[in-house]
Amino acid sequence: MSTDVPTQRRGLPLHVTPENSSGGTFIVIGANTGLGLEAAKHLVAVGAAKVIMGVRNLDAGETAKTSIESATEKTGVAEVWKIDLSSYDSVKAFAKKAITELDRIDALIENAAVAMSERVLAEGHALPITVNVLSTFLLAALIFPKLSDDAKKFGILPHITIISSSVGFDFEEQWNLIKDDPIVKSDGESMVTLMLYPLSKLMEILAVKYIAPQIPVSRTGVVLNVVCPGLCITDLSRNAPPAFKEQIAVQHKQFGRTAEDGSRTLLHGAVAGKESHGRLLAACEIATRQLPSWLENEEGQQAQKRVWGGIAKELEAVEPGCVSKMLQA
């Protein structure tokens, strides 16, 4: 795997501190389990003023919140908000609430993702494409203008950190089959459903690389980066076939980071410097060296443009003007 699991470092540094987090408001999507839960717990522990736990299942979210309060002995910080990334209306409602009710947003950590073994559609697309790509960027686009305003108003450096994976780098052959129209061709009935997770992660990275130069930190005051947390012991593969789950379980035992250790990569992304804008981060450092040449050469740059074009077309149909507002922030 491109995550380099046999040698992936463990015992990663914790980059969130009282100095860079105290008084801030952080949104963690997918915060009821795994990396998101551990990231939210760290943010509460270091003194964040408010941590919004974006979850699909409110009961599970409340259970996670209780566990955080018990572990940190801090109440009144974590809040559980509903967001279902399989529904554009849910994403829009969440964004509207965040913009209306939160005085400031220091970071949006987009951690939610799905991997499926059976074909399921949501909003007219394969579920992993809707959740991992389209809704993820819809939320980013909707909230971006507020982050830009908050940067100026509060003198802060807000972040949007998209949690991705370098696993897609291993699927160049499959990528070549869809690269001329990635969003549409991902929906084809001939697509192997298990391939959609790595391909969706690849699209996230390509889209961030393309859009970041158009929303420079020097103008917007907002950092947009993408994080590969490595191989972590979570329940992401819960929907996979038994044989695949067994394979992942072996890798978890041999090489996997704990969810707590992996969450530190998310938090690094949420406080990394301006130099992380548009970059892939891994193991709490900039990981440009991991990018294969076929993603960065001339053909790769065209692929970046096509991926973003497909995403932007969908976003503008869902919420007209949202992309242009982000680009003009």
How far is Cα of residue 91 from the mean position of the Cα atoms in its chain? 14
Regarding the domain with residue range 16-328, which homologous superfamily does it belong to in the CATH classification?
NAD(P)-binding Rossmann-like Domain (3.40.50.720)
pLDDT confidence of residue 242: 61
DSSP state letters, 61-102: HHHHHHHHHHHH---SSEEEEE--TT-HHHHHHHHHHHHHH-
pLDDT at 134 > cutoff 60: yes
Residue 269's identity, in one-letter code, is: G
Sign of CA dihedral 98, 102, 107, 113: negative
Q: What is the tens place of the pLDDT at every residue in 9-27?
A: 889 999 999 999 999 999 9
Contacts of range 66-70, beta carbons closer than 8 Å, 24 or more positions apart:
67/37, 67/41, 68/37, 68/40, 68/41, 68/44, 69/44
> Mean pLDDT across the stretch 215-242?
82
- Give yes or no for a contact between 83 and 128, defined as CB atoms under 8 angstroms apart: no
Q: Would you please indicate which residues are annotated as catalytic (active-site) residues?
A: 164, 197, 201
Give the pLDDT confidence of 175-186 residue by residue, as tens digits.
Answer: 999 999 999 999
Which is more confident, 8 or 275? 275
Separation between Cα atoms, residue 237 and residue 251, nearest integer Å = 12
Per DSSP, 110 falls in state E
Give dist(CA 110, CA 120) in Å, integer: 22
Whether 2 has a pLDDT exceeding 50, the answer reads no
The percentage of residues in the chain with a pLDDT greater than 90, rounded to a whole number, is 83
Provide mean pLDDT across the span 106-121. Answer: 93
pLDDT of residue 124 exceeding 50, the answer is yes
Q: Cα–Cα distance between 131 and 123 in angstroms, integer? A: 10
Has residue 149 got a pLDDT over 90? yes
Neighbouring residues of 260: CB distance < 8 A, sequence distance ≥ 6: 38
Q: What is the pTM of this model?
A: 0.92
Closest CA to 327 of 179, 136, 144, 130: 144
* CA 39/CA 34 separation, integer angstroms: 9
What confidence tens digit (pLDDT) does each residue in 215-224 have?
A: 999 999 999 9
pLDDT score of 3: 44
Give yes or no for residue 150 having a pLDDT over 90.
yes
DSSP string for 261-329: HHHHHHHHHHH--GGGTT-EEETTEE-GGGS-GGGTSHHHHHHHHHHHHHHHHHHHHHSTTHHHHHHH-
283 in Cβ contact with 12 (< 8 Å): yes
What amino acid occupies position 135?
S
Residue for token digits 């072996």? Answer: 250
